Chain A
């Protein structure tokens, strides 16, 4: 690196300090990240496109390509949106601009955020900075890999069933899926509207809290948003005295959890006890037995409705056709990749006459039970803890041909998403020299508790999270 700072280790908080003290200008910092991108991103492919000039007065940020950015192509990783240049900013992009952050680039994602490996991108996969033969997780593999590879100080992702938390776990950084309704979805390319949430990804819990403070709060343009009941607090406490941590027995019973992940998880629970936390067992039987099937009915059903707008009329690509209907059907068949088609088909089927009650209706009732089980667990505990992903990063190509194997990546992240609850991934150790993530789940609007718990553990563990192969 010829730059003025080492982007592999620089936190967003430190970068903000450098800019505030005028030790580095926003332009210099932006250029330094572009140099790092030029050096490493041919291999990793975190970015779909970068922005040459710093437009803000503060530090740069990477935005997942599902976030509309005025004047900057936004594709959601899909060829059906190739060449689409939004004429407005998503509210979160606008809030980042208002805070002085300059857009560094748009990051790769599974097409329409559908996937757990970023292999479903219409523009080629992103690679894991720890080992380029492995996936970075998904759908937000671009943002997560960029943060861990020093190609962005921080970034925004979007999470429907684990797309922020799981890639953060597989890349070894911190990711927050906020409480549903705390961050505006206006201008986000919609996948499943009752589940989609935008959230921050960064190197530290404090960075994530700082970025959450910038993007959270009610937006008149999104009627599902609410004002935060309490301001975002930057965590400082290094103890966990009195914190009640519940570990769902049914989550730990899952055979899918790899031994190395289990060992790292058990070690971090022990560390939490040493820091004064009270760790106990809780019960979420239906959430872990029925959460995954419930999600794979609700999310595709909503997706089939949201993706109806890609019809070759108002934006995006158009295929030739002699009639309107032929044009629409060809546009959609040629523009969508395999995974969106699979989900559109599944969702359309689940919503079609004769099947609605048995599938979508039944799944919505299961969702009620998942909400109730979590509410009961939070009567006894302040946070719940599980591993974020059942495994560490897996080889590119390993699960691509088996949709059900890919869907199982989100086994542990999905239940709390269905319940609309916030979840934080914090790196908690290594297995086979690859990062393992701890998932902390909070009650609705429990972000401050998650930040406090995550920060104390992060400080106590003091892991070295720079991918060894990238060190100069």
Chain B
């Protein structure tokens, strides 16, 4: 099953990747080949099989509702590319 160049561009937008033309071309071929291989899972009729999202059958793991300390603000901001007045700073959103 092939994937089109338009689909690759759509997925790149969803994934927030600014791919260049060369990458789009290469990924169109590579993803097509990988999807061909993984589409094998569609061969099986699994209507009555429940999905597994997690290999341990844990349910309702609770934590005690106890307040505890958090990281100091300067630590939280230490790795930020840009910050100002105790906030993460980003370029204009619009």
A345–B56 CB distance below 8 A: no
List of B residues within 8 angstroms of A83 by Cβ: 79
Q: Is the CB of B91 within 8 A of A371?
A: no
Q: Are B51 and A332 in contact (CB under 8 A)?
A: no
Task: Compute how far the CA of A329 lies from the CA of B12 in the bound complex, rounded to whole angstroms.
Answer: 9
Interface centre among B8, B19, B31, B34 (most CB of A within 10 A): B34
B86 at interface, CB cutoff 8 A: no
Q: Which of B8-37 contact A (CB under 8 A)?
A: 8, 11-12, 14-20, 23, 27, 30-31, 33-35, 37
Bound Cα distance A149, B78 (Å):
36
Chain B: minimal CB distance from A344 (Å): 5
**Contact across chains for B58 and A224 when beta carbons are under 8 A apart:** yes
Residues of A within 8 A of B93 (CB): 323-325
Q: Chain B contacts of A223 at CB under 8 A? A: 58, 61, 63
- Expressed in whole angstroms, the Cα–Cα distance for A173 and B51 within the complex equals 36
Chain A positions 318-349 with a Cβ under 8 Å from a chain B Cβ: 318, 321-330, 332-333, 336, 341-342, 344-346, 348-349
B46 surroundings in chain A (CB, below 8 A): 362, 365-366, 369
A350 to B29, CA, bound (A): 16
The residue in chain A whose Cβ has the minimal distance to the Cβ of B27 is A345
A449 to chain B, nearest CB (A): 18
Beta-carbon contact of A290 and B54 below 8 Å: no
Closest to B90 in A: A324
Q: Which of B3, B19, B81, B92 contacts A349 (CB 8 A)?
A: B3
Complex-state Cα separation, A421 to B11, whole angstroms: 33
Residue of B nearest to A197 (CB): B55
Bin chain B's interface residue count: 35 or more
A326 near B79 (CB under 8 angstroms)?
A: no
Instruction: Give the complex CA separation of A84 and B18 in angstroms.
Output: 23
Cβ distance A114 to chain B, nearest Cβ, rounded Å: 13
A308 proximity list for chain B (CB < 8 A): 16
Q: How distant is A216 from chain B, measured CB to nearest CB, in Å?
A: 14
Contact status A345-B11, CB under 8 Å:
yes
**Contact A368/B55 with A297-B38, A312-B81, A404-B33 known, Cβ cut-off 8 Å:** no
Q: Given contacts A312-B81, A342-B27, A349-B11, are A367 and B51 in contact (CB under 8 A)?
A: yes
Q: How far is the CB of A141 from chain B (nearest CB, A)?
A: 23
Q: Report, as a range, how many residues of chain A touch the other chain.
A: 35 or more
Q: Does A447 reach chain B (CB closer than 8 Å)?
A: no
Let me know if A369 and B16 touch, CB within 8 A.
Answer: no
Nearest chain B CB to A470 CB, angstrom units: 37
Residue of B19, B44, B50, B75 most packed against chain A (CB within 10 A): B44
Given contacts A85-B79, A180-B56, A333-B18, contact A349 B7 (CB under 8 A): yes
CB distance from B87 to the nearest CB of A (A): 11
Contacts A220-B63, A290-B40, A365-B50; A332 near B34 (Cβ below 8 A): no
Chain B residue at smallest Cβ distance from A181: B56
Tell me whether B51 and A296 are in contact (CB under 8 A).
Answer: no
Residues of B57-94 whose CB lies within 8 A of A? 58, 61, 63, 71, 75-76, 78-82, 88, 90-94
- B92 adjacent to A323 (CB under 8 Å): yes
**Chain A residues whose CB sits within 8 angstroms of the CB of B30 once the complex forms:** 342, 403
A291-327 contact mask (Cβ, 8 Å, vs B): 1 or 0: 0011011000000100010011111111001111111
The CA-CA distance from A371 to B44 in the complex, in Å, is 16
B78: nearest chain-A partner, CB-CB: A87
Question: Is B91 a contact of A326 with CB atoms below 8 Å?
Answer: yes
The listed residue (B8, B35, B79, B91) touching A84 by CB distance below 8 A is: B79
Q: Assess the B58–A181 pair: CB atoms within 8 A.
A: yes
Assess the A362–B42 pair: CB atoms within 8 A: yes
B55:A371 contact, CB within 8 angstroms: yes
CA distance A324 to B89 in the complex (A): 10
Taken together as a complex, chains A and B put the C-alpha atoms of A85 and B92 apart, in Å, by: 27
Interface residues of A (CB under 8 A from B): 83-85, 87-88, 180-181, 194, 220, 223-224, 226, 286, 289-290, 293-294, 296-297, 304, 308, 311-318, 321-330, 332-333, 336, 341-342, 344-346, 348-349, 352, 358-359, 361-369, 371, 403-404, 407, 418-421, 444
- Which 8 A-B pairs have CB atoms at the shortest separation, nearest pair first? A420-B55, A364-B51, A318-B81, A315-B79, A329-B18, A365-B46, A87-B75, A293-B38
- B residues in contact (CB < 8 Å) with A: 3, 7-8, 11-12, 14-20, 23, 27, 30-31, 33-35, 37-42, 44, 46, 49-56, 58, 61, 63, 71, 75-76, 78-82, 88, 90-94
